[in-house]
């Protein structure tokens, strides 16, 4: 059983399209995250949800909209995709917002052409 699963693993799409990435965790964790890893491998937090409530929103363009229907799921919807959105997006979860033990998904490689 995969602890944190993301779909799809690869996503190639044209500029201007709208796309979604889904994430599910079966660890019973309360907190979930979206991180973006750019071409230089730098990991930067985008959003964090604790028990379905948004607790972190890090200066991300409002074209990015996270949604957490329940604490086991955190989806990321991106409107009007731009070339600069190309990156690997990682979902992660932790027991609570102060836990150090993040479990990451295997990532979604988004390529905007």
Pattern 68-97, other proteins, x by CB under 8 A:
----------------------x-x----x
Nearest-approach distance from CB 78 to other proteins, in angstroms: 19
43 binds other proteins (CB under 8 A): yes
Residues 65/77, Cβ–Cβ less than 8 Å = yes
Please give the residue ranges that form the binding site for other proteins (CB under 8 A): 4, 31, 33, 35, 40-45, 48, 50, 55-56, 58, 90, 92, 97-98, 100-102, 104-107
């Amino acid at each position: 059983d995969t602890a944190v699963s993301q779909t799809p693993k690869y996503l190639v799409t044209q500029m201007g399209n709208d796309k979604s990435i889904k994430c599910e965790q079966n660890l019973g964790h309360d907190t979930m995250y979206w991180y973006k890893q750019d071409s230089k491998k730098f990991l930067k937090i985008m959003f964090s949800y604790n028990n379905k409530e948004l607790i972190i929103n890090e200066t991300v363009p409002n074209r990015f909209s996270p949604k957490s229907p329940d604490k086991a799921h955190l989806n990321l919807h991106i409107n009007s995709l731009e070339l600069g959105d190309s990156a690997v997006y990682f979902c992660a979860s932790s027991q609570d917002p102060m836990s150090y033990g993040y479990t990451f998904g295997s990532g979604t490689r988004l390529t905007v052409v």
